[in-house]
């Protein structure tokens, strides 16, 4: 091990996703088996003690790649020198909470975090927003960091992508490694548009293996509503699969996607597929040299077009509501 440690800041570190995520980062899953990490954990003051407990366990795991674990309740200190920021902590929607209240609460978290990243993070910082509403929170953080290129702020769509892969595997028996070019357009919400139009299974078009009836009446709603199904079954929201998806997203961003395949990342639009510039949107993406490229030039069916439009509308409405609340 010769390289100096990469600083990874995780917000909401004492939460459920945090607990599943931190050990995988420390064991090399996020950046690779030869990259030492310095973990900065950000929590609210009430959860600092719990974060300290997690830090004790991280240290007790004696991970060779773990340089140090540092705990903060100060956003500026937590993002000092950050190379990778995983913004997990968010204000959940509680019973009876209006959308405006939810957006205001999260604006109060992701605005200051974006600013702290702008002022304190390393020049090469990469940020993945996991906390919901992820696409809008990523937009708020990016807008609060004018000196950081907007391309460095992503929203996590990888869990939706992985869920789509899992449904295809279950239906057709194809190994995950032989399923390629799935995409989930749009937002991490029930509006999302999981799409197998371009997907291949063992090199053959997925559309030859699955019929429209299954896609419309089972696949799309199962993927889009999987979060609710997990809550119903587990009595708690998805945590380990969300952590695993965050690991996949950053690993691919840093190390590149596989030749002949793409993944889904929520990245800032430059106008691709008619998505307004700046919206952080799930697209088919490849990565090379630490940068995402949106796959362009795909033929878009009427159903996909409608799915993209539905997601643009939902994302735009949320951002308009944020602007009305004077968060931005």
Ligand X SMILES: NC(=O)c1ccc[n+]([C@@H]2O[C@H](COP(=O)([O-])OP(=O)(O)OC[C@H]3O[C@@H](n4cnc5c(N)ncnc54)[C@H](O)[C@@H]3O)[C@@H](O)[C@H]2O)c1
Nearer to ligand X, 148 or 223 (CB): 223
Structure tokens at 234: 């587990």
Q: Mask 212-241, x = binds ligand X (CB under 6 A)?
A: -------------------------xxx--
174-177: which pairs have CB atoms within 8 A and are 24 or more residues apart?
174/201, 174/202, 174/209
Among 42, 140, 150, 220, binds ligand X (CB under 6 A): 42
Sequential DSSP letters for 200-263: EETTEEGGGTS-HHHIIIIIHHHHHTHHHHHHHHHSS---HHHHHHHHHHHHHHHH-PPTT--E
Asked whether position 111 contacts ligand X by CB under 6 A, the answer is no
Say which residue the tokens 């510039």 belong to.
Answer: 277
Kindly state whether residue 173 participates in binding ligand X, applying the rule CB under 6 A. Answer: no
159 binds ligand X (CB under 6 A): yes
CA 127/CA 86 separation, integer angstroms: 6
Residue from 25, 31, 37, 90 binding ligand X (CB under 6 A): 90
Is-catalytic flag, 188? yes
Q: Does 327 bind ligand X (CB under 6 A)?
A: no
**Residue 212 burial (10 A CB sphere; 0-12, 13-18, 19+):** exposed
- Consecutive H or E run containing 76: helix 75-78
Per-residue contact string for residues 275-314; x = within reach of ligand X by CB under 6 A: ----------------------------------------
What are 42's strand-pairing partners? 11, 72
> Cβ contacts of residue 293 below 8 Å, gap of 6+?
285, 286, 287
Identify the CA nearest to 120 among candidates 165, 168, 158, 74. 74
CB 70 within 8 A of CB 89: no
- Contact between 135 and 187 under an 8 Å Cβ cutoff? The reply is yes
Region binding ligand X by CB under 6 A among candidate stretches 12-20, 56-64, 173-181, 316-324: 12-20
Given candidates 36, 89, 114, 186, which one binds ligand X under the rule CB under 6 A? 89
When asked if residue 54 is in the footprint of ligand X (CB under 6 A), the reply is: no
114 contacts ligand X (rule: CB under 6 A): no
Is 163 a residue that touches ligand X (CB under 6 A)? Answer: no
> Per CB under 6 A, which region of 84-92, 139-147, 275-283, 292-300 contacts ligand X?
84-92
CA separation for the pair 74, 36 (Å, rounded): 24
- The phi and psi torsions of 155 (rounded to 5 degrees) equal -110, 145
The residue from 120, 161, 188, 270 that is catalytic is: 188
Q: Residue of minimal CB distance from ligand X?
A: 15
Least gap, CB of 218 to ligand X (angstroms)? 21
| Using rule CB under 6 A, residue 11 touches ligand X | yes
Residue 39 touches ligand X, criterion: CB under 6 A: no
Q: Are 72 and 9 in contact (CB under 8 A)?
A: no
Contact in structure between 79 and 9 (CB atoms under 8 Å): yes
Binder among 8, 71, 102, 109 for ligand X (CB under 6 A): 109
CB of 47 to ligand X, least distance (A): 4
**Residues in region 123-142 near ligand X by CB under 6 A:** 130-132, 134
Q: Active-site positions?
A: 188
- The contact set with ligand X (CB under 6 A) reads 11-12, 14-18, 42-44, 47, 88-90, 92, 109, 130-132, 134, 156, 159, 188, 237-239, 242
């Amino acid at each position: 091990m010769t390289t100096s440690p990469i600083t990874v800041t995780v917000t909401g570190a004492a939460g459920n996703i945090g607990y599943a995520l931190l050990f995988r980062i420390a064991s090399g899953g996020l950046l690779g088996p030869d990259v030492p990490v310095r973990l900065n954990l950000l929590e609210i003051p009430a959860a600092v003690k719990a974060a300290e407990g997690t830090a004790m366990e991280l240290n007790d795991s004696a991970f060779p790649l773990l340089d140090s674990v540092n705990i903060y309740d100060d956003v500026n200190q937590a993002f000092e020198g950050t190379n990778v920021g995983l913004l997990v902590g968010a204000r959940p929607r509680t019973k009876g909470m209006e959308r405006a209240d939810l957006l205001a609460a999260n604006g109060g978290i992701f605005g200051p975090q974006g600013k702290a990243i702008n002022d304190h993070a390393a020049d090469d910082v990469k940020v993945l927003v996991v906390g919901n509403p992820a696409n809008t929170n990523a937009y708020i953080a990016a807008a609060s960091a004018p000196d950081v290129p907007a391309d460095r702020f992503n929203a996590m769509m990888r869990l939706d992508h992985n869920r789509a892969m899992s449904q295809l595997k279950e239906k057709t028996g194809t190994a995950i490694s032989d399923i390629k070019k799935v995409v989930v357009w749009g937002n991490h919400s029930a509006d999302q548009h999981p799409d197998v139009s371009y997907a291949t299974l063992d090199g053959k078009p997925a559309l030859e293996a699955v019929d429209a009836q299954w896609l419309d009446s089972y696949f799309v709603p199962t993927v889009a509503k999987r979060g609710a199904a997990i809550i119903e079954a587990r009595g708690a929201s998805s945590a380990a699969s969300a952590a695993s998806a965050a690991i996949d997203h950053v690993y691919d961003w840093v190390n590149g996607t596989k030749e002949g395949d793409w993944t889904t990342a929520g990245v800032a639009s430059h106008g691709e597929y008619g998505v307004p510039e700046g919206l952080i949107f799930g697209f088919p993406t490849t990565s090379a040299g630490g940068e995402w490229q949106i796959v362009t030039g795909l033929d878009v069916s009427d159903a996909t077009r409608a799915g993209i439009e539905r997601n643009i509308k939902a994302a735009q409405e949320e951002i308009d509501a944020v602007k009305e609340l004077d968060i931005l």
